[in-house]
Amino acid sequence: MKNILVAEDDIKQCENLKKMLYMIDAEFNIHEAQDKDQALKISNNVHIDLFFIDISLKNSSGLELALDLRKISRYEFSWMVFLTTHVEYLTQAFKQAHCYDYIVKPYDKDEIISMIKKFSAHAKNNSVQEKERKSVFLDLKSGVSMKFYIDEIIFIESSMRTCIVNTIRDSYTLKKVSLKNILKLINCNYIIQSYKSFLVNINYIKFIEKIDSRLSELYFEKSSKKALLGYKFKNSVLEKLKGK
pLDDT of residue 200: 98
Nearest CA among 173, 223, 228, 164 for reference residue 196: 228
pLDDT of residue 228: 97
Give 153-209 pLDDT, tens digit per residue: 999 999 887 999 999 989 999 988 899 999 999 999 999 999 999 999 999 999 999
pLDDT of residue 31: 95
Q: How far is CA 129 from CA 22, 161, 237, in A?
A: 27, 34, 28
Rounded to whole angstroms, how far apart are CA atoms 2 and 135?
23
pLDDT of residue 78: 86
Q: Are strands 56-57 and 3-7 parallel, antiparallel or unpaired?
A: unpaired
pLDDT of residue 128: 47
Domain annotation for the chain: domains and CATH numbers: 3-132 (3.40.50.2300), 135-242 (2.40.50.1020)
Measure the CA angle with vertex 63, ends 112 and 120; round to 5°: 30
Task: Name the CA radius of gyration of the chain, rounded.
Answer: 23
Give 203-228 pLDDT, tens digit per residue: 999 999 999 999 999 999 999 999 99
184 residue type, one letter:
K
What confidence tier does 120 reach under pLDDT thresholds 50, 70, 90?
confident
pLDDT averaged over every residue in the chain: 87
Main-chain dihedrals φ then ψ at residue 161, nearest 5 degrees:
65, 20
More confident residue, 130 or 175: 175
Give 44-89 pLDDT, tens digit per residue: 988 899 999 998 888 888 889 999 998 888 888 888 998 888 766 6
Q: Are strands 50-54 and 3-7 parallel, antiparallel or unpaired?
A: parallel
> Can you tell me the mean pLDDT for 120-141?
70
DSSP assignment of 73-132, as one string? GGGTT-EEEEEES-GGG-HHIIIII---EEEESSP-HHHHHHHHHHHHHHHHHHHHHHHH
pLDDT of residue 116: 85
Asked if residue 4 lies in contact with residue 49, where contact means CB atoms within 8 angstroms, the answer is yes
pLDDT of residue 59: 81
Helix (H) or strand (E) holding 198: strand 198-201
Rounded to whole angstroms, how far apart are CA atoms 41 and 39?
5
What confidence tier does 102 reach under pLDDT thresholds 50, 70, 90?
confident
CB-based burial, 1-25: b 16+ in 10 Å, e otherwise: bebbbbbbbbeebbebbbebbeeee
Q: What is the pTM of this model?
A: 0.53
